[in-house]
Amino acid sequence: MPAWTDYPSTGEVGSSWTPPELGDDLYDAVIDEVSEPFEQPKFDDPSQVEEKFWISWRLTGEDVPEDTTLRQYVAIPPKFRSDGFLSAKANLYLLMDTLGFDLSGRFEVDPPSWVGMKARVMIENKANRDGVAVPKITSVKPPRQKKAAPARQPQPVAAGAGQVGGRSLASRVQPDEDED
């Protein structure tokens, strides 16, 4: 058990986290880390607790400062914990669907295995308790799809093209070399 001698004897008001300056936009991101589940008082009713975990998203792209990460907190629904059922309206379900998991029938929920998965995160600057605008992840979208090369479209054939003397070139019989 820790003792008071394990803590600093003096302190000051402050935060160790400086929020990155980001505009409200959709950013490419990759999952860097997933926490263990933890309990936290509910925001709307602090007398009750809910289970959550967080995902650390590293934003990627040229318009993002290097090593910019933001956390997304995901609630673990009590019904999932007790009975293994996950509502299609639950944020955990929506996130897994966005990440491309097959959620038909029985499926596995293993957030630590998500490290390295890509998506796009919607960032909106929202005021915190102190009234300071900080970037928050408000939704997650599937990753951008690579554009496929355009398929070659068949070219229209002009009337009479490919015909000789009213017969199609394809139906024209070539004589054998030894025939005269």
Taking residues 85-109, what's their average pLDDT? 92
Nearest CA to 92 among 118, 54, 127? 54
Cβ burial, residue 76 (10 Å; 0-12/13-18/19+): buried
Q: Contact at 8 Å (CB) between 34 and 115?
A: yes
Report the pLDDT value the prediction gives residue 129, as an integer from 0 to 100.
82
**Count of CA atoms in the C-beta half-sphere (13 A) of 60:** 13
Nearest CA to 136 among 149, 148, 123, 145? 123
Beta bridge partners of 38: 52
121 in helix, strand or coil? strand
Kind of pairing between the strands at 49-60 and 25-34: antiparallel
Taking residues 171-178, what's their average pLDDT? 50
Q: Contact at 8 Å (CB) between 68 and 61?
A: no
Cβ burial, residue 135 (10 Å; 0-12/13-18/19+): buried
- At 114-155, the pLDDT tens digits run 999 999 999 999 998 888 889 999 999 998 887 766 666 666
Does the pTM of the predicted model rise above 0.75? no
Taking residues 9-22, what's their average pLDDT? 72
171 in helix, strand or coil? helix
Q: Contact at 8 Å (CB) between 25 and 136?
A: no
Q: Contact at 8 Å (CB) between 95 and 140?
A: yes
Q: Mean pLDDT of all residues in the chain? A: 82
71 in helix, strand or coil? strand
